[in-house]
C-alpha cells in the first residue's frame, strides 16, 4: 500500500516535471555542467591510460649520474661496477639528448643507436623493422624521423637532407632514411634516431661517456631492491624506476584536473545560486497547485517528496545526457579545443589518441562533483514550497 | 591548505555545503531549545514546527550523502597510495598522519549519530506534543560539532600527507610495530580476540532470547569494537589466506571479490540496530524494539557466518589452521 503511494507521487512528479518550463532551464544548466566536468575527466583518464600503456616501454631502472643536482654523463666503468648484481636482465648504456631547433622553437629527442646492437625499447625495434641494417652500417649520416618531425621537416623543405649544429658551431648533415608512421606517434613523435657515433658528435659526448644507463630486471618485484643496490655501489647516481615516472605523470595530470576543478567550483556555486533563485520564485499557478494538494489531504512531507522527486528526475536525466554528450565529444570528435588545456602547447608534443576509458570510478567522481550540489540547492526552496500555508494561497 | 588532487577539492566543496547547512540547523536548534513550547498557539510556535521539517530534510540529505561519500573517501585514499612511498592501500595513507585513525572513527560515529537522529525525529513526530524535541535538538548540536571536527581532521589529514615520507603498509600497521593506528590495538593474541568475539556473540544471543534489550544494545556496541579487532587479528588473515596480512581495508578491494562491502554492511547495520536499543531505549516503542533486535541479531549472525565461512574454507582446502 505504502509503495504504491510512493510510486504514484513519483509518477505524478514525472508528469509535473515535463510540464514545467523551469525544469527544462535547469536541465540545460545541469547538462552543461555535467558535460564540462565529464569531458575533463574523460580526457585526463584517457591520457593517463595511454601513459600507462606507453610506460610499459620504459626500462625498469634508469641510472643517472648526478653531482650538485645537475645530471652528468656516465662513464662506461659504471656498467662494470654493477654487472654482477644478481637478477639483472640487461644493462644498456644509452646515448641520447635534446636538440633545440631554433626555427620552430621546439626540442627534438636525439637518440643514438647502433643498428647492430639489440634495442632497449620495443618501439625502437619497430622503427628498425623492414630496414636493411647492412646499408645503415656503411654510412653514418642516416636518420630515422618520428612522425611529428617528419611533418615539420616536410613543411620547411628539409626533404632530402637536414643540417644540425654541433656544440662547436659546425654543421653536420643527415639524410632522412625513413619516416615513422602516425601509429607510432604516441611513442616517437618528436624523435630523431641517428647512429651512435653521429649522436656523440652532435651532443658533444666524448668516447666512453654515456647519457644514462638503462637496466632491465628479470623479476619485477625486485626493482626497488636492485635500485637500492645500484645506489649503494655507485655513490653519485640517482635511480629512476618505472613507477616513479608513472607517478610523476599522474601527479601532473592530477594537478591539471585540480586546476580545472577549482575553476569548475565557481561554476558550481553560480549554478546553485541560479537554481535557488529559479525554484524560490513561485508563480501563481504553482501556488494554487500546492494549495489544492494540501486541501485534498497531502501532508507537508508528501509535497516535499514530490519536489525532491522532481529534482531527482531532472538531475538524473541531465547526468545521463551530459555524460553521453561528453563521451561523443571526447572519444568520437577527439575533444577539439578542450584537449589543448591538458596536453600542453608545444607543436611537437605527443599526439594523444584518446583511448576509450569508462569505469565506475569516473562515474562516481562525476556524480559526487555535481549531484550533491544540485540537491543542496534544491533543499531550501523545496522546504519553503512544501510549508506554504493553504489559506494564504487561496486568500 | 595543500591541494593534492581534484577529488580532494570536491570533498572540500561538499564539506562547505555541509557547513552551510549545519549553520542553518544550529540556528534552528538554538531557537528550538530556547523557545519551543507546545502549549502555546502563537504563529511563532507554528513556524518553529514548520522548521522541524527543514531540519529533518537536512539530516536526511546528510545521511544520503555521507554514505557514498565515505566510500568515495576510501576510494580516493586508495588511489593516493601509489604516490606515497610504502603505502599500498588506504591504510598506508591514513596511517601516514596521526589524524587518519581518528578520522575514520569520527566518520563512522557521525553516520551512526545522524541515523539515530533521523529515528528520534521520526518517533518524535508520532508522539503527542513532540516530547523529544528539545532532546533531539541538543543531540543535533552535538552532531554538528562532530561534523565540524570531522572536517578539521580531514583538512589536517590532507595537509599532512607527504609524498616524501615513507609509511608502512597495512601488513605492518596491524602487525607488531606500534604507530598511530595500532596504538588503538591492545596486543591481543589471535585466538584470544576470536574467543572474545565468540563470547560477546553468545552474550548477544542470551540477551536476545531473554529480551533484555538494554544489555543487548550495550553488548552490540562492544561487539562492534571486538568484531573489528578480531577481523584485523584473526578473520582477515583467512580471507587473504596469508598469516601476515592483517588489514581491515584490503577486503574492500577487487581481489577479494568486494566481500568487504558485504561484511561491513552487515556489521555496521547490525550493530547500529543493536546499539539503537540502548541509545534510543526510551524512545522506541515495543514492536520496533522487537523487530530491530531481530534484524540486528540476524545481521550479526550473517556476519559471523560469512567470516567464519572463510576460516572453514581455508581449513577444508589446506588442512591446517593459520597461526
Q: Which of residues 246-285 of A touch B (CB under 8 A)?
A: 246-247, 250-251, 254, 257-258, 260-262, 265, 268
3-class DSSP state of A178? strand
In a domain, B180, yes or no: no
CB A24: neighbour CB atoms within 10 A? 11
In a domain, B173, yes or no: no
- Gap between the Cα atoms of B45 and B26, Å rounded: 18
3-class DSSP state of A237? strand
**Number of domains forming the structure of chain B:** 2
H or E stretch including B268? helix B259-279
Residues B158 and B192 in one domain: no
3-class DSSP state of A262? helix
Collect contacts of A68-76 with beta carbons under 8 A, ≥24 apart: A71/A212, A73/A205, A73/A206, A73/A209, A73/A210, A73/A211, A74/A209, A74/A210, A74/A211, A74/A212, A74/A213, A74/A237, A75/A208, A75/A209, A75/A210, A76/A208, A76/A209, A76/A210
Residues B197 and B134 in one domain: no
The DSSP output letter for B234 is I
CB A171: neighbour CB atoms within 10 A? 9
Close Cβ partners of B66 (under 8 Å, ≥ 6 residues apart): B107, B110, B111, B114
Q: Using the predicted structure, report yes or no on whether residue B91 has a pLDDT greater than 90.
A: no
- Gap between the Cα atoms of A125 and B163, Å rounded: 36
Nearest residue of A to residue B19 by CA position? A376
- Measured in whole angstroms, the distance separating CA A147 from the mean position of its chain's CA atoms is 21
Winning range, highest mean pLDDT, from B77-81, B150-154, B190-194: B150-154
**Cβ within 8 Å, pair B5-A258:** yes
- Gap between the Cα atoms of A329 and A39, Å rounded: 8
One DSSP character per residue, B105-127 reads: HHHHHHHHHHHHHHHHHHHHHHS
Residues B35 and B139 in one domain: yes
Residues B25 and B160 in one domain: yes
Q: How far from each other are the two terminal CA atoms of chain B, in whole angstroms?
A: 45
CA A135, A141, A142 angle in degrees (round to 5)? 55
* Residue A349: per-residue pLDDT: 55
CB of A341 less than 8 A from some CB of B: no
Phi first, then psi, for residue A62 (nearest 5°) are -115, 130
ipTM: 0.80
Residues B153 and B293 in one domain: no
**Smallest Cβ distance to A268: which of B5, B13, B79?**
B13
Residues B117 and B199 in one domain: no
Q: How far is A172 from chain B (nearest CA, A)?
A: 44
Q: What is the number of residues in chain A? A: 395
Residues B3 and B71 in one domain: yes
Contacts of B50 in chain A (CB under 8 A): 300, 387
**Cβ within 8 Å, pair A365-B7:** yes
Q: How far is B22 from chain A (nearest CA, A)?
A: 12
Helices B286-318 & B190-209, crossing angle to 10 degrees? 150
* Residue A288: per-residue pLDDT: 81
The DSSP output letter for A1 is -
In a domain, B77, yes or no: yes
Residues A326, A363 contacting (CB under 8 angstroms): no
- Gap between the Cα atoms of B289 and B276, Å rounded: 9
**Smallest Cβ distance to A379: which of B9, B57, B83?**
B57
Contacts of A301 in chain B (CB under 8 A): 53
Q: Using the predicted structure, report yes or no on whether residue B145 has a pLDDT greater than 50.
A: yes
Q: Using the predicted structure, report yes or no on whether residue B124 has a pLDDT greater than 70.
A: yes
Q: Using the predicted structure, report yes or no on whether residue B170 has a pLDDT greater than 70.
A: no
**Smallest Cβ distance to B17: which of A260, A361, A373?**
A373
Residues B254 and B287 in one domain: yes
In a domain, B175, yes or no: no
In a domain, B172, yes or no: no
Residue-wise pLDDT tens digits, B18-41: 999 999 999 999 988 888 888 888
- Gap between the Cα atoms of B226 and B224, Å rounded: 6
Residues B197 and B293 in one domain: yes
Residues A152, A111 contacting (CB under 8 angstroms): no
In a domain, B87, yes or no: yes
- Alpha carbon distances (Å) from A103 to A168, A177, A185, B209: 19, 22, 22, 87
CA B295, B300, B304 angle in degrees (round to 5)? 150
CB of A105 less than 8 A from some CB of B: no
**Smallest Cβ distance to B14: which of A304, A372, A386?**
A372
Phi first, then psi, for residue B279 (nearest 5°) are -65, -40
**Cβ within 8 Å, pair A247-B65:** no
**Cβ within 8 Å, pair B5-A301:** no
3-class DSSP state of A161? coil
In a domain, B234, yes or no: yes
**Smallest Cβ distance to A265: which of B9, B58, B65?**
B9
Residues B105 and B193 in one domain: no
Helices B6-35 & A242-280, crossing angle to 10 degrees? 40
CB of B216 less than 8 A from some CB of A: no
Residues A216, A152 contacting (CB under 8 angstroms): no
Among B1, B6, B55, most A C-beta atoms within 10 A, so best to mutate, is B6
For residue B315, the enclosing domain spans 186-323
**Cβ within 8 Å, pair A257-B5:** yes
Nearest residue of A to residue B69 by CA position? A368
Place of cell 593534492: B4
In a domain, B248, yes or no: yes
Average pLDDT, integer, range B281-291 = 82
- Gap between the Cα atoms of B133 and B33, Å rounded: 8
* Residue B141: per-residue pLDDT: 92
Of B22, B13, B4, give the one whose Cα is nearest residue B157: B4
Q: Using the predicted structure, report yes or no on whether residue B178 has a pLDDT greater than 50.
A: no
Average pLDDT, integer, range B222-229 = 85
Nearest residue of B to residue A375 by CA position? B61
Query: Which of B131, B166, B201 finishes a domain?
Result: B166
- Gap between the Cα atoms of A326 and A323, Å rounded: 5
**Cβ within 8 Å, pair B83-A251:** yes
Residues B92 and B154 in one domain: yes
H helix intervals, chain A: 2-19, 21-55, 77-82, 122-127, 133-138, 147-155, 185-188, 196-203, 223-233, 242-280, 284-295, 300-327, 338-343, 360-386, 390-394
Residues B216, B293 contacting (CB under 8 angstroms): yes
* Residue A344: per-residue pLDDT: 58
Residues B200 and B58 in one domain: no
3-class DSSP state of B239? helix
* Window from A362-366, B13-17, B125-129 with minimum mean pLDDT: B125-129
Could you say which residues of chain A have pLDDT below 50? none
Residues B33, A348 contacting (CB under 8 angstroms): no
Amino acid at each position: 500500500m505504502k509503495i504504491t503511494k510512493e510510486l504514484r507521487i513519483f509518477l505524478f512528479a514525472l508528469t509535473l516535471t515535463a510540464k514545467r518550463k523551469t525544469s527544462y532551464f535547469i536541465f540545460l544548466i545541469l547538462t552543461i555542467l555535467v558535460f564540462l566536468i565529464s569531458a575533463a575527466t574523460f580526457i585526463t583518464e584517457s591520457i593517463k591510460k595511454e601513459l600507462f600503456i606507453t610506460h610499459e616501454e620504459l626500462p625498469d631502472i634508469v641510472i643517472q649520474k648526478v653531482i650538485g643536482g645537475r645530471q652528468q654523463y656516465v662513464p662506461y666503468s659504471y656498467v662494470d661496477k654493477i654487472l654482477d648484481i644478481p637478477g639483472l636482465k640487461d644493462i644498456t648504456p644509452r646515448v641520447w639528448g635534446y636538440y633545440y631547433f631554433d626555427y620552430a622553437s621546439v626540442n627534438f629527442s636525439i637518440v643514438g643507436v647502433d643498428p647492430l646492437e639489440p634495442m632497449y625499447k620495443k618501439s625502437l625495434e619497430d622503427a628498425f623493422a623492414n630496414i636493411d641494417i647492412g646499408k645503415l652500417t656503411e654510412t653514418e649520416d642516416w636518420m630515422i624521423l618520428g612522425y611529428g618531425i617528419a611533418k615539420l621537416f616536410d613543411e620547411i623543405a628539409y626533404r632530402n637532407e637536414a643540417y644540425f649544429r654541433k656544440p662547436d658551431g659546425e654543421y653536420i648533415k643527415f639524410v632522412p632514411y625513413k619516416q615513422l608512421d602516425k601509429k607510432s606517434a604516441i611513442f616517437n613523435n618528436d624523435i630523431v634516431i641517428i647512429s651512435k657515433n653521429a649522436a656523440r658528435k652532435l651532443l658533444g659526448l666524448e668516447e666512453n661517456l654515456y647519457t644514462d644507463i638503462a637496466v632491465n630486471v628479470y623479476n619485477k618485484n625486485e626493482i626497488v631492491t636492485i635500485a637500492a643496490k645500484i645506489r649503494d655501489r655507485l655513490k653519485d647516481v640517482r635511480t629512476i624506476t618505472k613507477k616513479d615516472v608513472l607517478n610523476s605523470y599522474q601527479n601532473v595530470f592530477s594537478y591539471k584536473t585540480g586546476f580545472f576543478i577549482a575553476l569548475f567550483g565557481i561554476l558550481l556555486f553560480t549554478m546553485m545560486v541560479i537554481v535557488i533563485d529559479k525554484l524560490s520564485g513561485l508563480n501563481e499557478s504553482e501556488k494554487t497547485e500546492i494549495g489544492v494538494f494540501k486541501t485534498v489531504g497531502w501532508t507537508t512531507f508528501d509535497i516535499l517528496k514530490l519536489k525532491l522527486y522532481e529534482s531527482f528526475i531532472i538531475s538524473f536525466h541531465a547526468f545521463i545526457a551530459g555524460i553521453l554528450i561528453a563521451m561523443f565529444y571526447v572519444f568520437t570528435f577527439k575533444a577539439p579545443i578542450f584537449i589543448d588545456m591538458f596536453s600542453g602547447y608545444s607543436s611537437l608534443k605527443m599526439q594523444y589518441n584518446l583511448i576509450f576509458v569508462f569505469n565506475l570510478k569516473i562515474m562516481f567522481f562525476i556524480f559526487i562533483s555535481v549531484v550533491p550540489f544540485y540537491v543542496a540547492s534544491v533543499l531550501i526552496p523545496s522546504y519553503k514550497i512544501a510549508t506554504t500555508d493553504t489559506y494564504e494561497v487561496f486568500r | 591548505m595543500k591541494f593534492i588532487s581534484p577529488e580532494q577539492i570536491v570533498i572540500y566543496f561538499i564539506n562547505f555545503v555541509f557547513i552551510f547547512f549545519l549553520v542553518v540547523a544550529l540556528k534552528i536548534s538554538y531557537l528550538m531549545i530556547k523557545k519551543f513550547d507546545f502549549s502555546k498557539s502563537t504563529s511563532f510556535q507554528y513556524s518553529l514546527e514548520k522548521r522541524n521539517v527543514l531540519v529533518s530534510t537536512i539530516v536526511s540529505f546528510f545521511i544520503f550523502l555521507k554514505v557514498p561519500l565515505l566510500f568515495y573517501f576510501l576510494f580516493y585514499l586508495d588511489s593516493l597510495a601509489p604516490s606515497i612511498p610504502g603505502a599500498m592501500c588506504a591504510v598506508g595513507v591514513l596511517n601516514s598522519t596521526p589524524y587518519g585513525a581518528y578520522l575514520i572513527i569520527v566518520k563512522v560515529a557521525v553516520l551512526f549519530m545522524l541515523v539515530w537522529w533521523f529515528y528520534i525525529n521520526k518517533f518524535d513526530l508520532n508522539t503527542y506534543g513532540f516530547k523529544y524535541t528539545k532532546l533531539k535538538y541538543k543531540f543535533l548540536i552535538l552532531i554538528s560539532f562532530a561534523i565540524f571536527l570531522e572536517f578539521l581532521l580531514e583538512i589536517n589529514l590532507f595537509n599532512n600527507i607527504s609524498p616524501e615520507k615513507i609509511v608502512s603498509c597495512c601488513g605492518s600497521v596491524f602487525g607488531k610495530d606500534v604507530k598511530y593506528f595500532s596504538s588503538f590495538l591492545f596486543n591481543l593474541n589471535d585466538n584470544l580476540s576470536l574467543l572474545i568475539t565468540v563470547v560477546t556473540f553468545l552474550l548477544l544471543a542470551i540477551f536476545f532470547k531473554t529480551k533484555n534489550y538494554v544489555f543487548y544494545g550495550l553488548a552490540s556496541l562492544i561487539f562492534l569494537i571486538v568484531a573489528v579487532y578480531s577481523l584485523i587479528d584473526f578473520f582477515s588473515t583467512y580471507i587473504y589466506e596469508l598469516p601476515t596480512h592483517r588489514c581491515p581495508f584490503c577486503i574492500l578491494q577487487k581481489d577479494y571479490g568486494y566481500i568487504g562491502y558485504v561484511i561491513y554492511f552487515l556489521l555496521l547495520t547490525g550493530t547500529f540496530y543493536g546499539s539503537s536499543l540502548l541509545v534510543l531505549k526510551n524512545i522506541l516503542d515495543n514492536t520496533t524494539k522487537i523487530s530491530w533486535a531481530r534484524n540486528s541479531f540476524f545481521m550479526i549472525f550473517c556476519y559471523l557466518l560469512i567470516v567464519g565461512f572463510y576460516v572453514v574454507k581455508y581449513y577444508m582446502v589446506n588442512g591446517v589452521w593459520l597461526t
